[in-house]
Amino acid sequence: MVTYFRRMDDDRVFKALADPTRRFLLDLLFAREGRTLGELESAVEMTRYGVMKHLRVLEDAGLVITRRSGREKFHFLNPVPIRQVHDRWIDKYTERHVAALVDLKNELETER
């Protein structure tokens, strides 16, 4: 029960990952970092305000890091919180097995 409350902090990370649009924004930044709001906006079927709100959520969660330059704001993906999610439920010992299993699954699925 202690854990229950202590962990409430990373609520923001999981809440941020819960929305498909936000995950897609992370995908875009994963493919190529340093994008501006306008650039991201054009990739999603949504108004600028919606995208901004999503980016705000991602930034608050620490999943996206920004850097301003003049009137532009560049967005970068931060993988650290993702790794922490991983480490929460996959310990060092089982990691090898699980990773191998997932890799195998991917191979089998792409082979077809």
Minimum distance of DNA from residue 104's CB (angstroms): 30
CB-based contact 6:18 (threshold 8 Å): no
Q: Of 76-105, which residues contact DNA (CB under 7 A)?
A: none
DSSP letter at 69 equals: E
Q: Of 3-42, which residues contact DNA (CB under 7 A)?
A: 15, 18-19, 21-22, 36-38, 41
Pick between residue 18 and residue 34 the one whose CB is nearest to a second copy. Answer: 18
Minimum distance of a second copy from residue 32's CB (angstroms): 13
**Residue 33 C-alpha from the chain's centroid:** 13
User: Mapping DSSP to helix (H, G, I), strand (E, B) and coil, where does residue 46 land?
Assistant: coil
